[in-house]
Every structure is written in C-alpha cells, then in structure tokens.
Amino acid sequence: MTPAGRRLAGVPILAHLDLDAFFAAVEELEDPALRERPLVVGGDPHGRGVVSTANYAARKFGIHSAMSAAEALRRCPDAVFVRPRHALYRQYSRVVWDTVAEIVPRIERTGIDEGYLDLATAASDFTRARAVASAIQTAVRATTSLTCSLGVGTSKVVCKIGSDRRKPGGVTVVAPGTEAAFLAPLPVRLLPGVGPRSEARLRSAGVETIGALARLADPDLKAALPGSIGTLLRDRARGLDPRDLELGGEPVSVSAEDTFARDVSERAFLHDEVKRLAELVSERLRSSNLSGRTVTAKLRYGDFSIRTRSLTLPAAVDEADVIGTVACSLLDRGLRDRPGALRLVGVGVSGLSPYRQLTLDGS
C-alpha cells in the first residue's frame, strides 16, 4: 500500500484551502468581460494605492499583491483597475464557507479567502483525503463558480505551502513521511514564519532552501536565528508543526437552498419557496436544539452572481414563520438592490445558541 493509502495512528489529515485570486475572480463573475483582460483590484494607480490582488492575466506581467498600483500600471498600461468591494466579497466568502462546512465541519478560517480544514472528519486515509479535497473544489465551483486550491498533509505548515503549489484549481497531497522531501527544494522564503529579515539572515549563513534550514546544526542555527524562533522554523522546515485547528471563527449556520429548473422572477413563487426553506431550517434547528439571531437570504442570479442579505434579530429564534417572514423581506430587499430572475434561493440562520428561544406563552 502506498503511503497516501494509509493513515498512521494519531496522524492528522489536514488541508489548507485558498480561493484562487479571490477578489479578482469575484469581479470577473460580476462582469464577465473582465475575464480576458489583465485585472487589478486595488487602489488608485495614479495615486499611492496598492494592489490587493490581480487576476492571472495580470500576474503574467509580474503584478502581485502589495505592489504599488502605480508600478502595476507601469508594468501593464492596458490593465483594468477596480476598487475593492469588500461587502460583496464577504457575501461570496460566506457562501463558500457554508458550502465547505457541509462536507467538512471542522474549519479554521484564517482569512476571507483561506482557511484550514480537518479532513479526518470525512476521510480515513490520504487517498480518500484527495477525493474529499476534489469534492470540496467541485462543490465550491458549483455553488459560486469560483475555484480554489488545496494542500493536504499532516501539518498546517505543509498544507499551507502545498495549497500554493498547483494554482489555480489544483490539489497537492503530501503523504505521511514525505514532508521533509516535499519541502526541501523550495526557497526558504516560502516557509511560513520566515520574513524578509529572517530570510536575509539565513541567506547570509548560506541557507537558500527549506531543506538547508532543516539540516542546520544547532550552533549554526543559533548564529543565524538567535532565540526560540530558530528552533521553531527548523522544526517547520522538517515538516513538524503540532498546531491544531483553532475553531473560534464565525458561528456555524444552519441553512437550506434550492436551485430552480428555470430562472424565476415571479415574486409569489419565490416567497413560497423561501417559506418552504424556512420550514426546513426550523426543523434542523429544533432537531439540534439550536436557535439563532441572524437570518440570511441568499440569491443567485441567472449569470451565477450571488447576493446575500442578513438581519440580526433582538432574540434568537427557531420558528419557521418568523424565519420565513424575515427571509422574504430580505429577498425583497436584495431584489430591490439588484432586480432580476433568480436561479437559486437559500435561507440560513447563524449566531446560534445551544437552546431554543421560549415564546411568550412558554411553549
């Protein structure tokens, strides 16, 4: 059996998920004409703005995040520059992570477009983990038309580096026992925790690759990187990283959604569908002894663009009629902001509490 086909006792199966050029990808979904153009999301190229992200057409010109927008314009005068729309990106991000949570419930979100997953909840070995990672990619693409890359391994540091190896849309699996060999040829700057100053000190010591750092003897390590940071980084260079997932992120939501056979604009039909979904959400909340304060309506249009509208209530609820009424008003609000026929509607409740909110009659 290959190393990937087994899971050693007590060995984690983790993944790092990274949405590909996320801000730019959302802008391309909102305006498909941008897909064939070099696109830069960021500040004013005629001022002191910086690049937030760039699509892959722009990256061919050497444009990257944190570069000055003026330099990006110099490198590609034909690039299209758009200002970031963070509220819109959060809407897409919420849909992505709700989708991922349906497959893998243990998630540590480290940013709007990236996070760590505990694949052991869905995979018994590393062969199965690759299949789960591919299933996550398919689900994200189906619900949002966005692509993501994943690195799968036994530790956060390996997964983080792995997710960047086959962008866009790739999966990199580093089987148990192969971590050091996978990391060894890579530039030392790619190791999480190695910043510009640490890189300069290591280069002065003749350390150019992660493998060279892994092999560094104690005296040479202390000379290059005094203090505990040197030992930490050398351990990471060897693929050793005991950090577990930190699960203190956004509250888990309970949701339901449905895709129509044809795009629908009839408001009465949409309201009926939202109320039906609210009943499903209510049943799921009550079966889990949960209630929530924030109700969300999800709208996906015929061009696959997504809008969500949310309202936080004074008290947690689990009643279908309350959830349905709020969700219908949110749907109406979304359609006022952007009219159009819908391909899908969804209803969700978040801000969950492990109890049911009692009604006034005590039921």
For CA atoms 286, 288, 291, 294, the dihedral sign is negative
Q: Name the least confident of 5-14, 319-328, 345-354.
A: 5-14
pLDDT value, residue 9: 54
> Which tokens go with 335?
């359609």
Q: Where in the chain is the domain with CATH 1.10.150.20?
A: 179-237
The fold adopted by the segment(s) 254-353 is Dna Ligase; domain 1 (3.30.1490)
pLDDT band, very low/low/confident/very high, at 20 (cuts 50, 70, 90): very high
Higher pLDDT, 247 or 350: 350
pLDDT value, residue 290: 86
Does 1 score more than 70 pLDDT?
no
- Per-residue pLDDT reduced to its tens digit, 88-139: 999 999 899 989 988 998 899 988 899 999 999 889 899 999 999 999 999 9
pLDDT value, residue 105: 85
- Per-residue pLDDT reduced to its tens digit, 127-186: 999 999 999 999 999 999 999 999 999 999 999 999 999 999 999 999 999 999 999 999
Higher pLDDT, 172 or 361: 172
Task: Considering the candidates 27, 28, 108, 114, report the single residue annotated as catalytic.
Answer: 114
Q: Where in the chain is the domain with CATH 3.30.1490.100?
A: 254-353
Q: Where in the chain is the domain with CATH 3.40.1170.60?
A: 23-85
Task: Please tell me the CATH code under which domain 3-21+87-173 is placed.
Answer: 3.30.70.270
Does 10 score more than 80 pLDDT?
no
Task: Report yes or no: 43 and 84 within 8 Å, Cβ to Cβ.
Answer: no
Q: Which residues pair with 255 in a beta bridge?
A: 348
- Per-residue pLDDT reduced to its tens digit, 48-57: 888 999 999 9
pLDDT value, residue 253: 77
Q: Where in the chain is the domain with CATH 3.30.70.270?
A: 3-21+87-173
pLDDT band, very low/low/confident/very high, at 229 (cuts 50, 70, 90): confident
pLDDT band, very low/low/confident/very high, at 360 (cuts 50, 70, 90): very low
Q: For domain 179-237, which architecture applies? A: Orthogonal Bundle (1.10)
For the chain, percent of residues with pLDDT exceeding 70: 93
pLDDT value, residue 71: 95
Does 326 score more than 50 pLDDT?
yes
Q: For domain 23-85, which architecture applies? A: 3-Layer(aba) Sandwich (3.40)
- Per-residue pLDDT reduced to its tens digit, 240-249: 999 888 876 4
pLDDT value, residue 238: 94
Alpha-carbon distance of 351 to 291, in angstroms, equals: 8
pLDDT value, residue 357: 43
For CA atoms 71, 75, 78, 79, the dihedral sign is negative
279 a catalytic residue: no
Does 35 score more than 70 pLDDT?
yes
pLDDT value, residue 135: 94
pLDDT band, very low/low/confident/very high, at 3 (cuts 50, 70, 90): low
Query: In terms of DSSP bridges, do strands 114-118 and 107-111 run parallel, antiparallel, or are they unpaired?
Result: antiparallel
- Per-residue pLDDT reduced to its tens digit, 47-100: 888 899 999 999 999 999 889 999 999 999 999 999 999 889 999 998 999 899
**Which of 160, 188, 191 minimizes the C-alpha distance to 174?**
160
Predicted structure pTM score? 0.74
pLDDT value, residue 361: 40
Higher pLDDT, 36 or 288: 36
Measuring CA to CA, how many Å separate 208 from each of 28, 211, 248, 277? 38, 8, 36, 56
- Per-residue pLDDT reduced to its tens digit, 264-299: 999 999 999 999 999 999 988 887 778 999 999 999
